[in-house]
Amino acid sequence: MRTSSALRSACFVLPLMLMACSAAEKPDTASASDAPSKPAAKVEAPFPSTYKAYPGTATAIRNVTIFDGEGNRIDNGVVFMSGGKISSVGGADTAIPGDVAVLDGGGKYVTPGIIDIHSHLGDYPTPSVEAHSDGNEATSPTTPEVWAEHSVWPQDPGFSRALANGGVTALQVLPGSANLMGGRSVVLKNVYARTVQGMKFPGAPYGMKMACGENPKRVYGSKGRMPSTRMGNVAVNRQTWIKAQEYRKKRDSGKDFTRDIGMETLAGVLDGDISIQNHCYRADEMAIVLDMAKEFGYKVSTFHHAVESYKIADLLRDNGVCSAVWADWWGFKMEAYDAIPENAAILHNTGACVIIHSDDENQIQRLNQEAAKAQADGRRMGINISDAEVIKWLTYNPAKALGIGDKTGSLKPGKMADVVLWNGNPLSVYARPEMVWVDGALMFDAKDPKRRPVSDFELGQPGEGDVK
Amino acid sequence: MKHFLFTAAALAALTAPVQAETIAITGGKVVIGDGSAPIEGGTVVVRNGTIVAAGSGVAIPAGARQIDASGKWVTPGVFAGFTRLGLSEVDAVNGTNDKSGGNSGFSAAIDIAPAIDPFRSPFAVNRSAGVTRAVVAPDAANSIFAGMGAIADLGADSDAVTIPRAFQFAQFGEEGASKSGGSRAGNHLHFRAMLREAQDFAAGRGTFDDDLLKAEDAKALLSVLRGETRLLIHVEGANDMLRLIELKREFPTIKMVFVGVTEGWRVATQLAQAGIPVIASALNDLPASFEMLGATQSNIGRMKDAGVKVAIGMINDRDSHQLRYTTQYAGNLVSLERLPNATGLSWDEAFASISSVPADIMGVGDRLGSLKAGRAGDVVIWDGDPLELSSAATTVIIDGVEQPLSNRQQRLAYDR
C-alpha cells in the first residue's frame, strides 16, 4: 500500500521520527473500548462537482499553426473536436467529416486552453473590497482545514477576462500565503456557473497550499506568535506533519476516531491523493522543504513564485518538482530580490519543469505574453526554446502538476476539447484569443458580442457587455 | 544627467560627466516618436547631447562615430509617463522605500527629487530595457496633496533628476476621500480650503488652519494656482472626473493632468472640451473598485478618438520597478486594433504615447521625448519592433552618451 510504505520509510529515516512513529503506533485503548470499530475508509468527498459542459457542436479548424501543448508544432494543421473531446489533430490531410462546421483559420494559431496553476480569482475577486477579501484565513499559521472553494465567488468578473483575453480554460484557485499550511485549493473550469460546484473540474485532485518564507513569519510574528522566523516556519510545519502522521495511523487502524477536517487534508497529502502547491521564493528554502517532504514521505508538486529556482535547477529536476514562475516580477519584497527574467529558460535548459503562473487577475489575461518574455530572455543568453515548447509551460505542464494532464492541457484525441484559436502567434504582443472552447463548447468569440461572458455583478453596470 | 534648470558645472564635482560624442546612427528603421510613420533606412545624428537631425537624407557630420543599425529599429528612448522610479529598492523593506512622505507633517511642500536614487537597481534594469526618462511622483501620505514630483533620466551617472519640482501630485476619488475624512465631499473641501489658504498666505494674511497647511506647503500650492506647476491628479471614476472639470472652471489657472483615468472613455468628450490631458493606465479592464466599473482596455483608444491627449502611465502598477512593461502595454493597445469592436491605437500612435506625448503633457515636448532636432539625445536601437515581446534594446543613448546595459539581474543569470 502506497500510504503505509510512505509512512514506513519516513519512520526509518530519522531516529526522532521513529520515536514519533512508535508513540503513534500504541493502541488507543480508550477509543477501542468505547466504540465499535468502524471501517477506516476515507470520507467520501463532499461538495462534489456538478459541472456540465455547455452545449457544443462538432467543429473542425483547418489551415492553422498548431502548438499541441506537448511541445509539437504542426503547420497548416487541422484540429477536429466533437462530443466535447478532441477527435483528431494532424496535418492538412487530416480527415474532416462532411457534416461538421469547418473554420478556416488562415494564418491563425491553435493551442490548448491556457491553464493558470496559481490564481485567486473568486477568493480575492473584483471589486477588491474588504468584504470580498476571502483568501487568507490568517488566524492561525496552519489552517489545512479550510478549502478555497468555500471562498470562491462564482460571479467574479475576473473569470471572464481570463477567458476572453487570456484564453484561460482551467485554473487552480489557492488560499493565500499568510499561513504555512493555507488549506485546500480547487481546480475550476473557467466557465460561469451559479455555484462553485458548477465550476469544479470533474475528477481533478485537490491540492494543498503551503507557504515558505516572509509571509507566515511576518503575519504571525507581528502578532507575537510562532512562527516569527524561518526556523519557526519549519518547526511548526514539522510538528504539524507529525500530528498528521499520528492521525493517519489512527484513521487506518480500523478503530473509531474523531474526524478532523484539517488532518484529513494532511493525511490526504501523506496518502499521495492531495498535491502540495508550495509558495516558496528562495532556493535555500526550497531545498529545506524538499528535505522536510522526504522526512514525512510526501511529494511537492510545484514550488510557486519560485524566483530563485534557477539557483537549484538541477535539484528541482532530480526531484521532479515543477517551478511555477512569473516572467520578470522582482524587487517587491526581500525574498524576490534575486529574481531574474532568465529563470524559466535556465530551468527549462536544465531539464526541470517550468510553468508560467499569474497570481494576478491582470496577468492571468496575458500568460502567453509572460511566457514570450521569458522565452526572449532565454534566447538572449543563448538558450533557444521553440514556441511549441514554450506553450507547454502554459498548458501541459500545469495540467500535469495539477493531476489533470490525462484530461486536458494538450491537443490529443480523447482529451477535453479545451481549445484556443488565436488571431496570431500567441507569443506575439499583437495576438489575442479569437475563439475559446471549453469541453468543445464555444465560450468566447471575439466577433460575437453575445458571447462575451458577463457576470451577474456587471449586469446593469457601466460597461456591461462591453469589449474588455 | 543633463540639467535644464541647473548648470552642469554646478554638479561637475559629483557627476564626473562623460563627454557626449557626435554619433550618427545609420541604416535603421527610424521612429521619430511624434506619431509619424517609421522611416526606413534613416539616419539619426546626435551632437553635444542633443538630437541634430533624424530621417532620410541626413548628412553625417565629419568625425562622427557611426553606428550601423541596418535591420534594426531606432527610436527615442521610452518616456515612462507615471512612475515611482528610484524611490524604492525593495518595496517591502521600509528603509529602502521613499515613495511617500509618511508622517513628515508636510504635504504639497514635499519635493521627491532628493529621494530619487540613481544607484538603486531599477535604474539599470529599466535602462537596459530602453527606458530613458520617467515622470517620478511621490505617493500621498496624509493629505490629498502628495508633494512635488520630478522628471528623471535613467543615465548611468549620479545625477538622475532632469527637472525637479516639475509637478504637484494630488489624489481624488476613493484614495482622495480616504485622505480627507473618508468622503469625497471632504476631498473637494480640502482642495478648496488648502488653495484658499495658499492665496491667503500670498496676500500676507497668513491665517493658517494648522491641520491643513504649513507655510512651505502654501508656497508649493501657490505655484500650482498660478499655473507655474502642473497639477497631476490621480482620478479613476467618471463622476470624479466631471466634478474635477468643474473645479477646473473654478480655478481656471490650474494646469490639470489626470492620471489613472480608468473610466475616462465615459467622459471623453468632456475631457477633450476641458483640454485636460491624461496619463492613463493602459490595460485596466476589471472593476477593481466601484470607481472602475467601466474599465476596458479600449479606454485609451476611445479617449484618443474623442480628441483627448493620452499618454501611458502605470500608477500603482509595479511603478517603481517595472517601467520596462511600458512597451508591452503600448503593444497591447496596438493588438486591440485587430480585435473586433475594440478600440486601440495605431502602432505610430502607440509609440508616441510612450515618447512624445508624455513629454508634451509634462510641458517638455520641445526638449524631450522625440527624435526631432533640439531634443535631448535619448536614442535606443532595438533588435526588432520595440513593442514586440521578443525584441530588446541593443544600444541605449541618454543625453548623447552611450549607456552600459549590464545590471545585477544579468550577473545573477549569466555568472553562474
Nearest to B204 by CA among B192, B227, B190, B222: B222
Using the Cβ of A128 and the Cβ atoms of chain B, whether some distance falls under 8 Å is answered with yes
The pLDDT of B228-249, averaged and rounded, is 98
Chain B contacts in chain A segment 29-88 (CB below 8 A) = none
Cβ within 8 Å, pair B285-A468: yes
What cell does B158 get?
A: 549620479
Nearest to A28 by CA among A46, A12, A40: A40
User: Is residue B15 over pLDDT 50?
Assistant: no
User: Is residue B254 over pLDDT 60?
Assistant: yes
User: Is residue B35 over pLDDT 80?
Assistant: yes
Torsional sign, CA B387, B388, B393, B394: negative
Nearest to A280 by CA among A314, A305, A302: A305
Angle at A205 between CA A203 and CA A210, to 5 degrees: 155
User: Is residue A12 over pLDDT 60?
Assistant: no
CATH 3.20.20.70 fits A114-408, yes or no: no
Angle at B370 between CA B365 and CA B373, to 5 degrees: 90
Which residues in chain B have Cβ-Cβ distances shorter than 8 Å to A158?
286
Q: Please report which confidence band the pLDDT of residue A39 belongs to, taking 50, 70 and 90 as the band edges.
A: very low
Closest Cβ opposite residue A446 in set B296, B339, B416:
B339
Q: Please report which confidence band the pLDDT of residue A38 belongs to, taking 50, 70 and 90 as the band edges.
A: very low
Cβ within 8 Å, pair B413-A333: no
Alpha-carbon distance of B135 to B361, in angstroms, equals 11
Torsional sign, CA A447, A449, A451, A453: positive
Edge-first strand order for the sheet with A73-82 is A85-90, A73-82, A59-67, A101-112, A419-422, A433-438, A441-445
pLDDT at B416: 77
Q: Please report which confidence band the pLDDT of residue B100 belongs to, taking 50, 70 and 90 as the band edges.
A: confident
User: Is residue B180 over pLDDT 80?
Assistant: yes
How far apart are the CA of A177 and the nearest CA of chain B, in angstroms?
16
User: Is residue B2 over pLDDT 50?
Assistant: no
Alpha-carbon distance of A200 to B183, in angstroms, equals 41
> Alpha carbon B401 to chain centroid distance?
21
Which single residue is written with the C-alpha cell 508513540?
A23
Alpha-carbon distance of A100 to A98, in angstroms, equals 6
Torsional sign, CA A190, A192, A196, A202: negative
pLDDT at B155: 98
What cell does A73 get?
A: 508544432
CATH code for B78-364?
3.20.20.140
Return the percentage of chain A with pLDDT > 70, whole number.
91
Q: Would you list the domain boundaries of chain B?
A: 78-364
Nearest to B170 by CA among B71, B25, B315, B69: B315
Using the Cβ of A427 and the Cβ atoms of chain B, whether some distance falls under 8 Å is answered with yes
Alpha-carbon distance of A358 to A326, in angstroms, equals 7
Which residues in chain B have Cβ-Cβ distances shorter than 8 Å to A362?
283-284, 286
Alpha-carbon distance of A174 to A120, in angstroms, equals 6
Cβ within 8 Å, pair B285-A165: yes
CB atoms within 10 A of CB A89: 23
pLDDT at A197: 98
Cβ within 8 Å, pair A334-B389: no
The pLDDT of A332-350, averaged and rounded, is 98
How many interchain CB pairs under 8 A, A with B?
Answer: 149
Which residues 6+ apart lie within 8 Å of A290 measured at CB? A300, A315, A319, A321
Phi-psi region of A383 (alpha: psi -120 to 50; beta: other; left: phi over 0): beta
Which residues in chain B have Cβ-Cβ distances shorter than 8 Å to A427?
389-390
The pLDDT of B121-129, averaged and rounded, is 98
Return the percentage of chain B with pLDDT > 90, whole number.
88
Interface test with A, best of B286, B314, B321, B354 (most A CBs within 10 A): B286
pLDDT at A295: 98
Q: Please report which confidence band the pLDDT of residue B207 belongs to, taking 50, 70 and 90 as the band edges.
A: low
Phi-psi region of A258 (alpha: psi -120 to 50; beta: other; left: phi over 0): beta
Interface test with A, best of B283, B389, B412 (most A CBs within 10 A): B389
Using the Cβ of A3 and the Cβ atoms of chain B, whether some distance falls under 8 Å is answered with no
User: pTM value?
Assistant: 0.92
Which residues in chain A have Cβ-Cβ distances shorter than 8 Å to B90?
331-334, 337
Cβ within 8 Å, pair B334-A429: yes
Angle at A402 between CA A400 and CA A403, to 5 degrees: 65
Residue B252 burial (C-beta neighbours within 10 Å; 0-12, 13-18, 19+)? exposed
Closest Cβ opposite residue B290 in set A127, A424, A447:
A127
What are the pLDDT digits (tens) for A272-320? 999 999 999 999 999 999 999 999 999 999 999 999 999 999 999 999 9
Cβ within 8 Å, pair B390-A379: yes
Closest Cβ opposite residue A331 in set B91, B340, B389:
B91
Which residues in chain B have Cβ-Cβ distances shorter than 8 Å to A307?
none
CB atoms within 10 A of CB A246: 18
What are the pLDDT digits (tens) for A156-209? 999 999 999 999 999 999 999 999 999 999 999 999 999 999 999 999 999 999
pLDDT at B141: 87
What was the ipTM of the complex prediction? 0.94
Closest Cβ opposite residue B293 in set A339, A462, A467:
A462
Mean pLDDT, chain B, integer: 93
Which single residue is written with the C-alpha cell 511621490?
B138
pLDDT at B10: 39
Using the Cβ of A341 and the Cβ atoms of chain B, whether some distance falls under 8 Å is answered with yes
Cβ within 8 Å, pair A461-B287: yes
Asked if the peptide bond before residue A141 counts as cis, ω within 30 degrees of 0, the response is no
Using the Cβ of A447 and the Cβ atoms of chain B, whether some distance falls under 8 Å is answered with yes
Closest Cβ opposite residue B334 in set A372, A427, A430:
A430
Alpha-carbon distance of B102 to B94, in angstroms, equals 11
Q: Please report which confidence band the pLDDT of residue B102 belongs to, taking 50, 70 and 90 as the band edges.
A: confident
User: Is residue B401 over pLDDT 70?
Assistant: yes
pLDDT at A13: 33
User: Is residue A322 over pLDDT 90?
Assistant: yes
The pLDDT of A28-41, averaged and rounded, is 40
Q: Would you list the domain boundaries of chain A?
A: 53-112+409-468, 114-408
- CATH: 3.40.50.300, 3.40.50.150, 1.20.140.10, 2.30.40.10. Which one for A53-112+409-468? 2.30.40.10
pLDDT at A30: 37
Which residues in chain A have Cβ-Cβ distances shorter than 8 Å to B121?
331
Using the Cβ of A337 and the Cβ atoms of chain B, whether some distance falls under 8 Å is answered with yes
The pLDDT of B181-194, averaged and rounded, is 95
pLDDT at B211: 65
Using the Cβ of A295 and the Cβ atoms of chain B, whether some distance falls under 8 Å is answered with no
The pLDDT of B347-371, averaged and rounded, is 98
pLDDT at B81: 98
The pLDDT of B396-413, averaged and rounded, is 96
Which residues in chain B have Cβ-Cβ distances shorter than 8 Å to A128?
288-289
What cell does B114 get?
A: 532628493
pLDDT at B103: 81
What are the pLDDT digits (tens) for A43-98? 568 999 999 999 999 999 999 999 999 999 999 999 999 999 999 999 999 999 99
Alpha-carbon distance of A259 to B216, in angstroms, equals 66
pLDDT at A28: 38
> Is the fold of A53-112+409-468 the same as that of A114-408?
no
pLDDT at B105: 87
How far apart are the CA of B239 and the nearest CA of chain A, in angstroms?
12
